[in-house]
Amino acid sequence: MVQSGFQKTKIGVYPIDWNLSRIGNHCNVLGGGTPNSKIYEYYHPLEIPWLKSGDVNIKKIESATNYISKLGLKNSSAKLLPRNSIILGLSGRGKTRGMVSLLEIESSCNQNLACIVPNEKLYYKFLFYFLEHKYEYIRNFTGDKSRNILNLSLVKSIPIIIPAIMEQKKIACILENVDKITQTTRKIIRNLKESKKGLMQRMFTEGIGHTEFKETKVGKIPKEWEIVNFNNSIIKAKYKIGSLKTTEYQPMGNFPIIDQGQEFISGYSDRAELLYNGDLPVVIFGDHTRILKFIDFKFICGADGTKVLIPNKTLFDPHYLYYAFSNFRIKNLGYSRHYKLLKEFKIPKPPLEEQKRISSLLGNVDNQILNEIKIRGEFKLIKKGLMQDLLTGKIRVKIN
């Protein structure tokens, strides 16, 4: 039963004084294009920003990394797009299709993006948040499950809800303030990671409190340090211990699944018989991805290509070994060849106590990063709740 004062629509329940319409009724929808890449003059001089599909991952586009010339714009289907509009991803099997960004500069784009230019009844930032909130709906708004692409006609037919213009602006203002906090946290995380890189470089070349140094195959190191081969510093466990197919990963369960994916924990399982039963802690190395993880709890080893590296604790502090591996620049050699390259590295070996001090310093920075990541996650949850409440009219904002 619909609550009094609300209307049931095909995209949800909304206040009865909010109007149901379509994008095409209130917006100009513009497509993009790609100038002929064989014609140098279409891309030089660098005159007009030109957006590609990946740029839709930037929530507020205030600059560009790609440009075309005025001649390239004139001789292609690309168009000059106005600022204060919205960029929408049209294609892609990944996350791109259905994603939106605020366009804060004049730009052009390729054919895999659309530009939505609202009229005076739609505040562009409100429309941005509404479309962001409806990501899954828009992503599947193709009219055909076998189709994985949107087009301009489909974009124009996407249903939208329109509150009064002042209410739109107030809702957008609240959500934008949360985004600003999240963005500040993201910058702090980025700066901490850069600081950590610099600290790692110093720690692995200068150590702590040394005054005498020597040149080695890995560069300058303190005179008291040694250099050891990778194979003498760790033992490689069988990487298929407890391996699971990705289709078996569960969102919740008793045991975390660790693999070579971007997420620290990739999923969960209840299959206790698959638990890794070797020494802890270990370092996880992704032979496909080159991603490293330090694990000091019971886990199930995930998909193929995930290798478990067991530190030789008589030679190395496990955390130090993890940071030493993280300091390597492992080239991208393609599918499943990176472990062979990792084995060729030589590792600087300070005394065990100094290793622990280095690990502690780097660990302090990591703890700061994790704390900021936690804060960012909390604000993401706050925003999600606010979007659900404000963009559906469950909570109405007061207009002065």
Residue 282: enclosing H or E segment and its boundaries? strand 282-286
Q: CATH 1.10.287.1120 in the chain, residues? A: 163-200+352-400
With 0.85 as the threshold, say if the pTM is over it: no
Which ranges constitute the DSSP H helices of 254-351? 318-326, 338-343
Among 12-21, 193-202, 303-312, 391-400, which stretch is predicted with the lowest mean pLDDT?
303-312
Q: Is the pLDDT of residue 146 over 50?
A: no
| Per-residue model confidence (pLDDT) at position 148 | 73
CA distance between the termini of the chain: 32
In CATH, the number for domain 226-349 is 3.90.220.20
How is domain 6-162 classified at the CATH fold level?
Adenine-n6-DNA-methyltransferase TaqI; Chain A, domain 2 (3.90.220)
Distance CA 41, CA 45 (A): 7
In the chain, residues under CATH classification 3.90.220.20 are 6-162, 226-349
Q: How confident is the model at residue 44 (pLDDT cuts 50, 70, 90)?
A: very high
DSSP string of 288-308?
TT--EEEE-S--EE-STTEEE
Whether 1 has a pLDDT exceeding 60, the answer reads no
Question: Mean of the per-residue pLDDT values for the chain?
Answer: 90
What tens digit of pLDDT does each residue of 241-298 get? 656 777 888 888 899 999 888 888 888 999 888 888 888 999 998 888 888 999 999 9
Question: Is residue 99 pLDDT above 70, yes or no?
Answer: yes
Give the model's pLDDT for residue 31: 96
Task: Give the tens place of pLDDT for each residue, 304-316.
Answer: 778 888 888 888 9
* Class of 163-200+352-400 in CATH: mainly alpha
Query: Residue ranges of the alpha helices (H) in 143-233?
Result: 152-156, 165-206
Instruction: Report helix, strand or coil for 399.
Output: coil
Identity at 374, one-letter amino acid code: K
Query: Among 103-107, 176-180, 255-259, whose mean pLDDT is lowest?
Result: 255-259
